[in-house]
Amino acid sequence: MSHRPFEILGVQQIAVGGADKRALRRLWVELLGLAPSGSYSSARENVDEDITRCGVGPFAVEVDLMQPLDPDQKPRVHEPPLNHVGLWVDDLPAAVRWLGEQGVRFAPGGIRRGAAGHDVTFIHPRGDAAAPQGGEGVLIELVQAPPEVIAAFRGLAAGG
């Protein structure tokens, strides 16, 4: 296997879905105390989501609380309830190129601006004949880390 030209720095987000966000907000915001930090809605992605955060600074992790705009349409953001995991990556274009060369299947849409304003792309949960490596049943979002997040993770790794 050739040298990996990128680094996964840490968890950027987890996204959970339900038929109705009110139950998710009750658990994650009211009971667990995560802080609301925004919202996002997209007809193309069939999602209405509340963005919450836990932790501080560059090490904060988003928890996206999602419900479908139309539960009968795809994508079904509430099935499975743990919809996807987002990972910070230091060089998203390099990661996409290299992973594609390794046979990783990406979901349609390519690199694009995500709900939190960062460039993102998704590894499909399942491989296919053309790209046999998928997420082994898990949708994985790769998120371009901004410079301050890259610096913070590298500083932590260096013992600083």
Q: 8-157 — its CATH code? A: 3.10.180.10
- In this prediction, residue 1 has a pLDDT band, given cuts at 50, 70 and 90, of low
Overall pTM > 0.85? yes
Ordered by start, the domain boundaries in the chain are 8-157
Residues 123-152: pLDDT tens digits? 999 999 999 999 999 999 999 999 999 999
Nearest to residue 52, comparing CAs of 42, 66, 41?
66
pLDDT digit string (tens) for 64-91?
A: 999 999 999 999 999 999 999 999 999 9
Question: What's the Cα-to-Cα distance from 49 to each of 43, 56, 80, 97, 117, rounded to whole Å?
Answer: 12, 21, 15, 30, 14
Computed over every residue of the chain, the mean pLDDT equals 95
